[in-house]
Amino acid sequence: MQFVVAYERVISWIMWRAQFGPDKLVHTFAGLAIWLLVALVVRRGFARWLPFAAVVLAETGNEVMDYIVHINWTATGTLGDIVFTLFWPLVLTLALRWKR
């Protein structure tokens, strides 16, 4: 449980420091950053499914943490977070795979 609370504090700090828009924008940037970072680190290419799978895994973990910590958790809020996080990594992965 301490990990969950510490994770939530870090996320709250990021949201407080970001101050450039709603949390959905942060989800969009986080999804793209994870996708890009994993693709660069594993050096397997952006068209592979591994970077996208990493985004799915990270977002799943994030939403589980939100569910555990937040009393005012809602399914619609979670669905919005998932869509905003996964949308561009999925679009880019599919576009790069289609190009082949």
Angle, helices 49-69 vs 75-99, to 10°: value is 170
For residue 3, pLDDT beyond 80: no
What does the pLDDT look like over 6-54, one tens digit per residue? 766 776 666 666 666 667 788 888 899 999 999 999 988 888 899 999 9
Q: Which domain holds residue 32?
A: 2-99
Q: What is the pLDDT of residue 80?
A: 92
Stronger pLDDT, 68 or 23, i.e. the higher one: 68
Q: What is the pLDDT of residue 68?
A: 85
Determine the 3-state secondary structure of 47 from DSSP.
coil
Task: Match 């939100």 to its residue by tokens.
Answer: 66
Q: b vs e for 25-58, b when ≥16 Cβ sit within 10 Å of the residue's Cβ?
A: ebbbbbbbebbeebbeeeeeebbeeebbebbbeb
In the chain, the number of structural domains is 1
